[in-house]
Amino acid sequence: MLKPNPEYIEELIHVVGSAPYPSHMSMRLAAIDIDSAEIVLEAGPCHLQPFGIVHGGVLATLIDTATFWAVFMRIPEEAGLVNIDLKLNYLKPVVCGRLTAEGCAIRSGKSISYAEARVLGADGALLAHGTSTLMTLPGKGLKLKARKFVAEH
């Protein structure tokens, strides 16, 4: 039986955290496992639209990112992943504070996967929900030193 390699997870979180877009958005990959991921974003003034609430694109980014990483551990190491469909519902306005997106893989296939995510406020309130269809891209994987999985004893 295989289990996620903690060294791979640590390296992946570092690589994702060092990428320009997550850094620009003030978001980070907080946790990842097979079929799940957690993304955290500290919403501040730079995330607000003119009416003083967090822009919907920020919540869409969180859902897109959480669904992506929820599926990621099931694809081959040499493959990448791209979102081909994103559907979401905004349920409550957000002003600021910690936002947590919890992603969950619903179906992981060889070429097409399907996942959902929910965005929660610091108080645990459900702010947005969405689903995503993702396509595996052979030959576009991350070049990490550690292997994705290790044998479980």
Query: Topology of domain 2-151, per CATH?
Result: Thiol Ester Dehydrase; Chain A (3.10.129)
CB 114 within 8 A of CB 133: yes
Identify the pLDDT of residue 49. Answer: 96
The alpha carbon dihedral of 6, 139, 107, 64 has a sign of positive
Identify the pLDDT of residue 66. Answer: 98
Residues in the chain: 153
Give the whole-angstrom CA distance, residue 149 versus residue 129: 30
pLDDT grade for 2, boundaries at 50, 70 and 90: confident
Is the pLDDT at 134 greater than 80? The verdict is yes
Domain ranges of the chain: 2-151
Please compute, for residue 115, the number of CA atoms within 13 A of its CA located in the half-sphere on the CB side. Answer: 35
Q: What is the SS3 assignment for 6?
A: helix
Identify the pLDDT of residue 153. Answer: 73
